[in-house]
Amino acid sequence: MPGKTLVVVGAGPGLGLEIARRFGRERFNIALIARRRESLDGLVARLSEDGIRAEGFVADVGDETALKSAFGGIRLRFGRIDVLEFSPVPAPEGDADKYSPLTLDRATMDRLHRVQILGAITCVQEILPEMLERGDGTILLTTSGSALHVMPVYTPVGIVMAGLRSYALCLNEVLAKKGIYAATVCIGVLIRKGDPFGDPAHIAGVYFNMFKTRNRAEQVIYAGNDLNVLHDEDMAQRGVTWERPK
């Protein structure tokens, strides 16, 4: 099918849908990957109402075989893949107390590592050969505030998010020389429709602007000084760009 294609991994009715809409308005084909067919069908229907070409592909991001199969289906349906956006939500499972650094167990860490780190690596490896061959492409890996800030209540999430952030920045360092743009978006706000800081439509615009400008390896979205951790001038010295809601 002609046109560029965006793949949203971990697609949901909030940010994933709005990223799909934003790119879809620019005539991108949209491929959505998520665990449940019913959810995917609903998202595809909503995008179709906006005149956007979209299709859902079922896969658990933590299942390498299923994930590779989904990408095979995407290539059959749309051909080339131009943009990868990776944002599965690391939702707690079981006892929330296991998210404490004092009670964190291996099973919890294994699950999050399989989805957030190994899942991202699988996705990147699925699309990287064709991007290297073309000398073009975009990879956007989504992290959270716990990748930058100490949040003991989210200890295992912080561990994998920090790792995912490092992976994205390492990709950027190597791939920029090959014409491929890799970056990370760190979301330090609550994503909620109508929220002055975390409206998903606004955040989706940040993703599209990064795709267009390709001028930063990292974008941090926050609500002002409510995180109460690092000041703007400190982050500027580290080469990080803050994005304040308009």
pLDDT in tens, 93-109: 556 667 788 988 898 89
Q: What is the pLDDT of residue 165?
A: 96
Residue 220 makes CB contacts below 8 A (sequence gap 6+) with 148, 186, 188, 235, 240, 241, 242, 243
- Tell me which of 46 and 194 has the higher pLDDT: 46
- Give the model's confidence band at 25: pLDDT under 50 very low, under 70 low, under 90 confident, else very high: very high
pLDDT in tens, 117-143: 999 999 999 999 999 999 999 999 999
pLDDT in tens, 136-195: 999 999 998 888 888 888 899 999 999 999 999 999 999 999 999 999 999 988 888 988
Question: What does the chain come to in residues?
Answer: 246
Domain residue spans in the chain? 5-243
C-alpha–C-alpha distance, residues 96 and 90, integer Å: 13
Question: Largest Cα–Cα distance in the chain?
Answer: 52
User: Can you spell out the DSSP letters for the chain?
Assistant: --S-EEEEET--TTHHHHHHHHHHTTT-EEEEEES-HHHHHHHHHHHHHTT--EEEEE--TT-HHHHHHHHHHHHHHH----EEEE-------S-GGGGSTTT--HHHHHHHIIIIIIHHHHHHHHHHHHHHHHT-EEEEEEEEGGGTS--GGGHHHHHHHHHHHHHHHHHHHHHGGGTEEEEEEEE-S---TT-TTT-HHHHHHHHHHHHHH---SEEEE--SSTT-S--HHHHHHTTPEEE---
Residue 241 has pLDDT above 80, yes or no: no
Mean pLDDT throughout 61-74? 97
Mean pLDDT throughout 75-91? 92
Q: Sign of the CA dihedral 140, 22, 191, 96?
A: negative
Q: What is the pLDDT of residue 245?
A: 37
Residue 58 has pLDDT above 80, yes or no: yes
Fold (CATH) for 5-243: Rossmann fold (3.40.50)
Average pLDDT over the chain reads: 88
Closest CA to 7 of 65, 113, 93, 78: 78
- Give the model's confidence band at 91: pLDDT under 50 very low, under 70 low, under 90 confident, else very high: low
Can you state the angle between helices 155-175 and 119-134, rounded to 10 degrees?
10
Q: What is the pLDDT of residue 225?
A: 40
C-alpha–C-alpha distance, residues 126 and 145, integer Å: 27
Residue 238 has pLDDT above 60, yes or no: no
